[in-house]
Amino acid sequence: MALRIYNSLTKKKEEFVPLEKGKVKMYVCGPTVYDEPHIGHLRSAYVFDVIRRYLEYCKYKVTFVRNVTDVDDKIIEKAKESSSSDLIEEAKKVTQKYYDAYKADLTKLGIKEPTTEPFATRHIEDMIFLIQKLLEKGAAYQSGGDVYYSVQAFGSYGKLSNQKKDSMLEHVRIDANEKKKDPLDFALWKKAKEDEPAWDSPWGKGRPGWHLECSAMSMKYLGSIFDIHGGGLDLVFPHHENEIAQSEAVTGSAFVRYWVHHGLVTVNNQKMSKSLKNYVTLSDCVRNDPEKIEDLKFLFLKTHYSAPLDYSEKEMAMVRSIRNNFKFFIDEAKSITEKLPERAEFTSVNKEIISLTANFIKAMDDDFNTPQMIAEMHKKMHAARQVHDDRLILAVSNTIRERFHILGVNFDVGVCDINQIENAIKKREEAKENKDYKTADAIRKEYLDKGIEFIDRPTGTTWRKR
């Protein structure tokens, strides 16, 4: 079975065929750095990290570009809150502060660094060049120091969101001060306002429009057409719709082959927002418990990336239970590693591992179906436990561990002091040999109180976390 991806543009799953054999070019809309990152931002980063990791597992060489929007109305508004006399310098401080916070959270989650991380303010010349091309082709016009894209010039405008004009207008902010030919037209270049960040251009001082930034940066690093463009469902319109319009108007050809959009995060079934005071950051979620970082990854994996995800303490407790099932199984397997015969027969075990790997690939090839992947891993883990075969437990455990590691999940966080446990098992066995059952029982109870259960097998004593 070949990898199939749901394409938001065609509204169906399609076999993934990259433009260049063995290589994948992928662009993901990154953060607008004006406030603390929240778990919605982190879900986006993790979703595309998982997709990238799986593509690399499939032996693709992935060029992964994730941008940073560091000039925007929201950034300027945030800078104004400080009442600084130098708004330009304050805007730089705002972007640096929240960029650092975003990157720190990604590091805690173990998100891989992008191949390239372009900042909007470092690509102004590329954006100006793109605007000039659009003006030359009659797809843009000047108006009072601003430059607008004319949606009338793009016959297939709306093909991504599949909306009619009336529906589109409901999502567009109409400013009485703007001089547009059509309410759907959007800014490519905004005339500078007093004391705000601005750059020189053929149309006077100003700054680029948000939609233009991603077109300029993606085409600079990936070419005029590339394989995958990702982002949240909230970006389909108008952001990604506008990216398509301006990019394809310049090149005259397709912009992106596969559009991938993830669902949004709610909190206790309510939209996450500051006004509702349900804005959850990584610190709110983790609360100095490093294992909760892994729990959060499981929460993301448990729901298909395209579906909405609800965050609640109840959901976090549920995924902790699911993750612990795997973690305890892996811990149990660690304790039997050195107890197997040196030349154990693994033929039947190998068949199980091949099956487990095949099921992992089958699930992930089905539009990165991580909930199905988890179900397959759990099924094999349960079957291995039922057989009571140490070789099978060890092999299945190692395979499960490796498959989750591919997706960035770490089971070693909060791991027990294995040497200490092994020494306790050794002392208990010595006590039993000396018929000192009181001491043996005391050791067993001591560790049982710590959540560690000793399991006596014909090959020796193993352990697992309860």
For residue 245, give the nearest of 256, 229, 261, 260 by alpha carbon. 256
For residue 343, is pLDDT > 50? no
User: Average pLDDT of 144-152?
Assistant: 95
> pLDDT tens for residues 28-65?
999 999 999 999 999 999 999 999 999 999 999 999 99
pTM for the model stands at 0.88
> What is the structure's pLDDT at 433?
87
> pLDDT tens for residues 202-246?
999 999 999 999 999 999 999 999 999 999 999 999 999 999 999
Domain parsing of the chain, residue ranges: 4-262, 282-406, 418-465
Lowest mean pLDDT among 141-145, 314-318, 343-347: 343-347
> What is the structure's pLDDT at 4?
98
For residue 444, is pLDDT > 70? yes
Q: 338 falls in which pLDDT band (50, 70, 90)?
A: low
> What is the structure's pLDDT at 3?
98
What is the rounded average pLDDT for all residues in the chain? 91
Q: Given this structure, which CATH class describes domain 282-406?
A: mainly alpha
> pLDDT tens for residues 204-215?
999 999 999 999
CATH superfamily entry for domain 4-262: HUPs (3.40.50.620)
